[in-house]
Amino acid sequence: EPEVTQTPSHQVTQMGQEVILRCVPISNHLYFYWYRQILGQKVEFLVSFYNNEISEKSEIFDDQFSVERPDGSNFTLKIRSTKLEDSAMYFCASSDHRGVGGYTFGSGTRLTVV
Amino acid sequence: KNEVEQSPQNLTAQEGEFITINCSYSVGISALHWLQQHPGGGIVSLFMLSSGKKKHGRLIATINIQEKHSSLHITASHPRDSAVYICAVLPGWYNNNDMRFGAGTRLTVKP
């Protein structure tokens, strides 16, 4: 069964450093998403991406965050200057159409900012 | 007020029991998802519903759009069903991808 692959599975970074979280969505999917889950809290939507541009973003997704699809397979989330409160599990997901075909989630990247 | 409410928050069952997890939401939706999150943290999509009922193995999901309510049932529960089950909705307004998540129901099935 096709999978969404995320790397790395764990990342520890110093406060103020830039991090890039990587995702390989399912190849024939057109919509890509990032979510985060702070430990003990519910999952929150960050951003959706379609046709090589952001289609929607939440209030959390401020200027410190950016997304990119640098080639035909990867989808990245960059945090420019990490803060302690960015520590969370970050999930990538993809779908073939908004909600209709269902979503496939990656296994997540646990980011720890120290 | 949370847009997606789940109950119960925690649920412990004996192996073989019938499980029901409930989800109520306050916004108009185009779809509702039931997700499973294992202890390692990974999320698996179980169902996507916009009406009626779906069944997959021992799992059944129903939705009542008029009442803004969905249920996830597990028949003949097994310890491997132990996980957090999350209800999430996709608001129904145009081109809205901002999925709203419930806080999850932690299910523990004891042998």
Q: What is the C-alpha separation between B46 and B98, in angstroms, rounded?
A: 19
Band (A101; pLDDT cuts 50, 70, 90): low
- Residue B49 near residue B70, CB atoms below 8 Å: yes
Which among B30, B33, B101 has CB closest to A42? B101
Tell me whether A40 touches chain B (CB under 8 Å).
no
**Mean of per-residue pLDDT scores for chain B:** 93
pLDDT score at A98: 61
For the segment A64-75, the average pLDDT, to the nearest whole number, is 92
What percent of chain B is modeled with pLDDT above 90?
A: 78
Query: Residues of B with CB below 8 A from A45's CB?
Result: 97-101
For the segment A46-71, the average pLDDT, to the nearest whole number, is 93
pLDDT score at B91: 84
Inter-chain contacts counted by CB atoms under 8 A, chains A and B: 64
Band (B84; pLDDT cuts 50, 70, 90): very high
Query: Residues of A with CB below 8 A from B31's CB?
Result: 99-100
* DSSP run (H or E) holding A44: strand A44-50
Residue B94 has pLDDT above 60, yes or no: no
For the segment A38-62, the average pLDDT, to the nearest whole number, is 93
* For A61, nearest residue in chain B (alpha carbons): B98
For the segment B84-92, the average pLDDT, to the nearest whole number, is 92
> DSSP class of residue B111?
-
pLDDT score at B93: 62
pLDDT score at B96: 67
Residue A100 has pLDDT above 70, yes or no: no
What percent of chain A is modeled with pLDDT above 70?
A: 96
Q: What is the C-alpha separation between A88 and B13, in angstroms, rounded?
A: 30
